[in-house]
Structure formats: C-alpha cells, structure tokens
C-alpha cells in the first residue's frame, strides 16, 4: 500500500470515528448502578431497552457489581464526579446517603408528594422528607407463610390462617426419633432469618403493641404486647411440645428446601430459589392472624434515587428515567422477571396479581405492612438473636431478656440519631 492511499484511508477512518463520536455526543448518556443479582439485571436491561426506544436521545448505561462492594464504590465515585446518575439503594441506607449529600430530592413537579402518597403503598412514605421524596421503589417485598404441600397432606392439615391453626398444624407435622431428637420440624425458627421482622412488625403489632415510637427513634416493645409476642415466639422452640428448634438443619430455608420443615416464614425474594428446588411442592399463604383477626406484616424495598452528580441535561434525562422505572409498566415487568411486588396498588392489586397463587399472599400482605426504619439493620437483628439466645442458652426469663434487648437497641438508635 503506498503512502498516499494509506493517508487517505487513515483520514477517512478518522473522520468516520469523529462523526460517530459527534452523533453520540448529541445523545445524553446517563449511568445507572445496582448490585448484581441475575434477575434484577435482566429486568433492568429490559426496562432500559424500553426506555431507550421511547427516548431515542437518551442512552442508559447500567453498571452492576457485587453487593459487598456496593457502598464503598458508590461513596468513592460520586464525590469524584464519576459513577451513577441514578442509583439503587436499600431503603435503610437512605439517611446516610442524604446526609453525605450523595443524592438529591426528586423534583416536585415531576414527582408531586401528594400524588405519590396517594398512588403508592403507604410504607413508601418512609422516603418522604417534608414535601419532597428522596427516592422511590420499583418493587417492594413482604413476608408470607410458605408451606410444604406434601407434609401438610401427610399430616392431614390445611394451610393455617390463624396462629392457633399454625401451631396445631406445626405440631401435627413435627417428628422425633426414639431419643426425642427432632427429625422434622413443623415450622422453622430463627431470628437470623426473617423472623426478627415477623416479630417486630408482625407479632408485636398483632398482640396490640407498637414496636417503636416517634418515627422509629424510640424503642417501645418492652411492653405487655412485646412480652406476649416474645413468649409466643419462644414457645415454638421451648418446652416438651416444641414444634421447631433454632438452628435445625443449620438454616431455616435449608430445612424447608430439604422438605424437613412443614412451614417457613420468608420474603417474596425466596420464591425464585424455591422454584428451582427440585421435588419440593410448596404453597404460600398470608402470615397467620390472631384469633380476633389482627394482621400485620413487614415490608422492605430497594429504591432508586438521583445522585448529586446528575446536572443539566443529564439531570433531565435522569428524571425521565426515574419516572419510567417507577411507572406501572416497569412494575409489572419487575414482577414478571424478578418476582418482586409492585410498589403501587394500581399494579399490585389488579385482579390477576392479587389473586395469583404465589404473589397474591405477599401483595395482600402489603396492605397491612409496616416498614421498620433501621439505624443499623444487622446490629439491630443481632440484638433479637441474642434476646432469644439468653432465654434458650442461659435460661433467662423472657421479660428480663426483652428489657435488655430494648435497652441495647435504644442505645443504637440514640447514637445514630444523636447528630
């Protein structure tokens, strides 16, 4: 190839690239970050495709990385002017992100608080500060009672709807060997899993209590209702008529998956992995009510927020993207792909969704669900674990252990809200 030809070729290649870059510069590119979870990434890819088709001048680049690195990376990137324009975070982290000025409130014209109050399930209001929402979820999760259909049929009992029925069904499904060791439990138990949510927002409220006061800054469960809830919970695995044991088969969901536990309380996020468990025939029903019909549930969610990095046209694009990922259409896609529940009654409580065999109990549970505002979820969960351990391993009375837990949790809250 002679020099002149080569130069011409190089020149045309260079102009070609320049044109490409030029046209790309016309479109706004925004970045979206979330943690890596197969189904969530697949759902988000679908949402981004739909959004880009409707807004050809905007491209969305999704980045995802392991859950463990999430906070560190977001914290390092945004102040450096890198990283996401729209970011996904756990609702419990919101305060930290607001205080660190990593996210900005949603604009009131596109996301009027009054409309959101009306359109979303009420627990979303935890994301509201004054007249502005800081963040909004696409999907929410709640708890329900999973049951093993084979074990239920074998014991000749029906899926329970009240606590009494639950205890009776659990007793019918519990099996022991000759030495009295449990070989099959009626239901699973363990504060390390979802039970601490069930106890806090479910049982205590059902016993007529209020677990926290003053917007979750004051512990209020050291009360009659709290004690009743704790005694009910510990009665499951203490005494001769125990229907379960803490740590049976190491982890509650493992025991349920292995078909050695009749019932199991868990979140909607468990559906996917139970579906993949071969040979397990399971069903799901709402959390058991009290004899007089009191129901309560716990809900948690991941939210999307606009970061302080998004400015100018990127900000406008980010607002449009936020509007799309919190739309009815996006919620239905999220439900179908990930199995997480829509955050709006208008999508969740459609005939088809609310009566769905699998999602229905969770969606109906949202209507009476509460969301705990955690200061430090893992530390607060650990206190519940220790509350039970003091009773089972050290023989402390439930009342005394409850008081200790309440005191320790108040300390965590005080420290967190001190500044």
Partner 1 sequence: MTRYRNLSIKQKQIVWAYAFLAIPIVFYGVIRFYPTGNAILISFQDWNLLGDRTWTGLDNYAKLFADPTFWKVFKNTFVYLLIGTPVSLVVSFFIAYHLDKTRFMHGFLRMLYFLPFMTSAVAMAWVWRWFYQPVPIGLFNNFLSTFGIPQIAFLNSTTNALPSILAPAVWAGLGFQIIIFMAGLRAIPQSYYEAARIDGVSTWTVLWEITLPLLKPTIVFIVVFSSIGFLRIFDHVFNMTTGNPGGPLNSTKPLVLMIYETAFSSFDMGYAAAQTVVLFLVLLVVSLLQLRILRDR
Q: Which residues bind partner 1 (CB under 8 A)?
A: 68, 71-72, 75, 96-97, 99-102, 177, 179, 181-183, 190, 192-193, 245-251, 260, 376, 378-379, 382, 385-386, 389-390, 393-394
Residue 96 DSSP SS3: helix
Strand 182-187 to 341-342 pairing = unpaired
**How far apart are CB 45 and partner 1 at their closest, in Å?**
28
For partner 1, the closer of residues 205 and 390 by Cβ is 390
For partner 1, the closer of residues 56 and 178 by Cβ is 178
> Using CA atoms, how far apart are residues 114 and 132, in angstroms rounded to an integer?
9
> Using CA atoms, how far apart are residues 290 and 234, in angstroms rounded to an integer?
17
Residue 283 DSSP SS3: strand
Q: With helix as H, strand as E and coil as C, how does 314-335 read? A: HHHHHHHHHHHHCCHHHHHHHH
**How far apart are CB 158 and partner 1 at their closest, in Å?**
27
- Give, in order, the Cα–Cα distances in Å from 290 to each of 229, 285, 371: 11, 15, 20
Q: Which residues of 84-100 are buried (b: 16+ CB within 10 A; e: fewer)?
A: bbbbbbbbbbbbebbee
Helix 224-235 / helix 377-394 crossing angle, nearest 10 deg? 60
> Using CA atoms, how far apart are residues 10 and 16, in angstroms rounded to an integer?
10
Q: Under 8 Å CB-to-CB from 218, ≥6 apart: which residues?
A: 212, 410, 413
For partner 1, the closer of residues 249 and 402 by Cβ is 249
In the chain, % helix, strand, coil (3-state, to 5) comes to 50, 20, 30
For partner 1, the closer of residues 102 and 363 by Cβ is 102
For partner 1, the closer of residues 102 and 366 by Cβ is 102
Q: With helix as H, strand as E and coil as C, how does 132-170 read? A: EECCEEEEEEEEEEEEEHHHHHHHCCCCCCEHHHHHHHH
For partner 1, the closer of residues 104 and 285 by Cβ is 104
For partner 1, the closer of residues 123 and 375 by Cβ is 375
For partner 1, the closer of residues 123 and 388 by Cβ is 388
Q: CB–CB of 299/128 below 8 Å?
A: no
* CA proximity to 194, closest of 11, 419, 312, 362: 362
User: How many CA atoms lie within 13 Å of 142's alpha carbon, on the beta-carbon side?
Assistant: 32
**How far apart are CB 252 and partner 1 at their closest, in Å?**
9
> Using CA atoms, how far apart are residues 212 and 59, in angstroms rounded to an integer?
44
> Using CA atoms, how far apart are residues 164 and 148, in angstroms rounded to an integer?
18
For partner 1, the closer of residues 285 and 372 by Cβ is 372
For partner 1, the closer of residues 260 and 364 by Cβ is 260
- Give, in order, the Cα–Cα distances in Å from 187 to each of 195, 254, 402: 12, 12, 23
**How far apart are CB 128 and partner 1 at their closest, in Å?**
21
């Amino acid at each position: 190839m002679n020099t002149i030809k080569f130069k011409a070729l190089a020149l045309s290649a260079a102009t070609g690239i320049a044109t490409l870059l030029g046209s790309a510069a016309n479109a706004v590119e925004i970045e979206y970050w979330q943690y890596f979870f197969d189904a969530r990434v697949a759902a988000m890819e679908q949402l981004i495709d739909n959004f880009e088709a409707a807004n050809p001048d905007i491209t969305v680049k999704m980045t995802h990385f392991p859950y463990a690195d999430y906070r560190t990376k977001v914290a390092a990137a945004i102040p450096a002017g890198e990283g996401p324009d729209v970011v996904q975070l756990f609702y419990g982290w919101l305060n930290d992100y607001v205080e660190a000025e990593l996210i900005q409130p949603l604009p009131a014209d596109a996301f009027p608080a009054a409309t959101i109050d009306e359109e979303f399930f009420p627990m979303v209001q935890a994301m509201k500060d004054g007249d502005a929402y800081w963040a909004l979820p696409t999907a929410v999760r709640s708890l329900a009672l999973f049951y093993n259909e084979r074990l239920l049929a074998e014991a000749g009992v029906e899926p329970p709807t009240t606590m009494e029925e639950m205890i009776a069904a659990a007793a019918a499904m519990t099996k022991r060997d000759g030495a009295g060791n449990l070989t099959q439990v009626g239901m699973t138990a363990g504060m390390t899993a979802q039970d601490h949510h069930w106890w806090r927002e479910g049982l205590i409220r059902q016993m007529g209590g209020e677990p926290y006061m003053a917007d979750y800054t004051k512990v209020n469960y050291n009360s009659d209702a709290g004690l009743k809830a704790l005694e009910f919970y510990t009665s499951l695995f203490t005494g001769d008529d125990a229907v379960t044991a803490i740590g049976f088969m190491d982890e509650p969901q493992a025991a349920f998956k292995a078909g050695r536990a009749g019932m199991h309380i868990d979140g909607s996020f468990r559906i996917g992995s139970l579906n993949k468990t071969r040979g397990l025939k399971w069903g799901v029903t709402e959390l058991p009510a009290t004899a007089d019909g009191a129901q309560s549930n716990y809900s948690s969610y991941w939210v999307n927020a606009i970061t302080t990095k998004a400015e100018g046209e990127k900000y406008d694009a980010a607002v449009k993207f936020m509007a799309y990922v919190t739309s009815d259409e996006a919620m239905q896609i999220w439900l179908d792909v990930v199995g997480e529940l829509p955050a709006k009654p208008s999508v969740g409580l459609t005939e088809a969704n609310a009566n769905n065999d699998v999602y229905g109990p969770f969606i109906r549970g949202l209507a009476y669900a509460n969301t705990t505002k955690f200061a430090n979820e893992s530390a607060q969960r650990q206190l519940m674990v220790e509350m039970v351990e003091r009773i089972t391993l050290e023989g402390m009375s439930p009342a005394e252990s409850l008081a200790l837990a309440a005191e320790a949790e108040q300390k965590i809250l005080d420290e967190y809200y001190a500044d």
